[in-house]
Amino acid sequence: MFFLPPILLHYYITYRCNCKCCFCDIWRLSPTFDAQVAHVEANLNHARRLGARFVDFTGGEPLLHQDLPELLVKAQNRGFRTSVTTNTILYPERAKELKGKIDLLHFSLDATCASMHDHLRRAPAFEQVLISLDIARQIGETPDILFTVTPETISFLPLMVKLASSLQFILIVNPIFSPHRHHRLYEDNLRFIEKFKKYPYVYINTAFHTLRRQGGNQISKPRCRVMASTIVISPDNQLMLPCFHRRQLQIPLHNNLDEIWLHQRVKYLAWQGRLSVCAGCIINCYFDPSFCYKVDRLFFQSLSAKIKYAFVKYALRKYHLLRQPELRPTKAILAEINANHLHEATA
């Protein structure tokens, strides 16, 4: 399905971050300056012409980019669906200017207690997530809770499911893809996660699990379609190939993304998934769009997860809110969930 246009513009608008998560090293990167509005605008125009429908403004922490609301409006005005994932440290002060500008807003939360979340984030972020969830509820935003599952955090999954269900926000269960052995998930972890697949407010894309069970991407028969599906741009206005995490080539852009990308795509399509670094690759952000580019088991697993997501987010949630809105602050809901858990564990 190489004839399909790219679906996603994966735009690194900053490498700066106010966390130093133990499973991430983006915050160590340079440049330490952010993407310029004029460059983003030009690249949005080109990406749209190439056929991209989604733009993910990512980082680093995207809310550190002072012009983020303007970038989002420019993207929406060009017909993009926008997505942003934030650690929420800045959300309380920026929520009003961002309202309505992010179609898919994700709040990162790694545990139901401050000690674990802040330990992993290496920053006092937990309280900000709870405050941000309340602000989002007050202003009518519907963030998803992005739960990155590691061997350290997997035991929080049942409590995270309860929290998401109480708030009627979707819990995105994101299996960690760090190459470090101590962060790796194994078969028993995957089976445990899948027990929660049928819960309404839980998004589990089992295509990621199948890929892991197959040993990740195979160089001899690659499943990666990053060059077909995704355009990746750095804060200093360079096209990164074939993907951000294993970039081999960075090409400076001069208002010519469409020309460069089409040329490089033809030239390097054969690269995707075939480099030595691609052996066993399970990088979620590139396999998610890649799943759409070949009709196989992974395609159908991913599609069914997305259909459920859309149904819960846009239909079921509205129905539940009409009947039984939860009005208590998130902190109170979470305290009750944690207390019940403690009670059950000691009973």
| Site of interaction with ligand SF4 (CB under 6 A) | 17, 19-21, 24, 26-27, 59-61, 87, 217, 224, 226, 242-243, 246, 272-273, 275, 277-278, 281, 283, 286
Smallest distance from the beta carbon of 19 to ligand SF4, in angstroms?
4
Distances (CA, A) of 65 to 22, 24, 262, 277: 22, 19, 29, 31
**From CA 169, how far away is CA 179, in angstroms rounded?**
30
Smallest distance from the beta carbon of 50 to ligand SF4, in angstroms?
19
156 or 177, CB closer to ligand SF4?
177
Q: Is the sign of the CA dihedral 311, 211, 56, 334 positive or negative?
A: positive
Smallest distance from the beta carbon of 269 to ligand SF4, in angstroms?
11
Smallest distance from the beta carbon of 222 to ligand SF4, in angstroms?
6
Residue type for 264, please?
Q
C-alpha 95, offset from chain centre: 19
168 or 230, CB closer to ligand SF4?
230
Smallest distance from the beta carbon of 72 to ligand SF4, in angstroms?
18
18 or 76, CB closer to ligand SF4?
18
On whether the CB atoms of residues 84 and 106 are closer than 8 A, the answer is yes
**From CA 158, how far away is CA 345, in angstroms rounded?**
13
Residues 6+ apart with CB under 8 A from 336: none
136 or 312, CB closer to ligand SF4?
136
Smallest distance from the beta carbon of 24 to ligand SF4, in angstroms?
3
Which H or E element spans position 250?
strand 249-252
**From CA 10, how far away is CA 286, in angstroms rounded?**
9
Smallest distance from the beta carbon of 95 to ligand SF4, in angstroms?
18
**From CA 35, how far away is CA 11, in angstroms rounded?**
9
235 or 273, CB closer to ligand SF4?
273
* CA geometry: angle 36, 37, 42, nearest 5 deg: 105
Half-sphere exposure of 193 (CA within 13 A, CB side): 28
55 or 64, CB closer to ligand SF4?
64
122 or 328, CB closer to ligand SF4?
122
Q: Would you tell me how many other CB atoms lie within 10 Å of the CB of residue 216?
A: 18
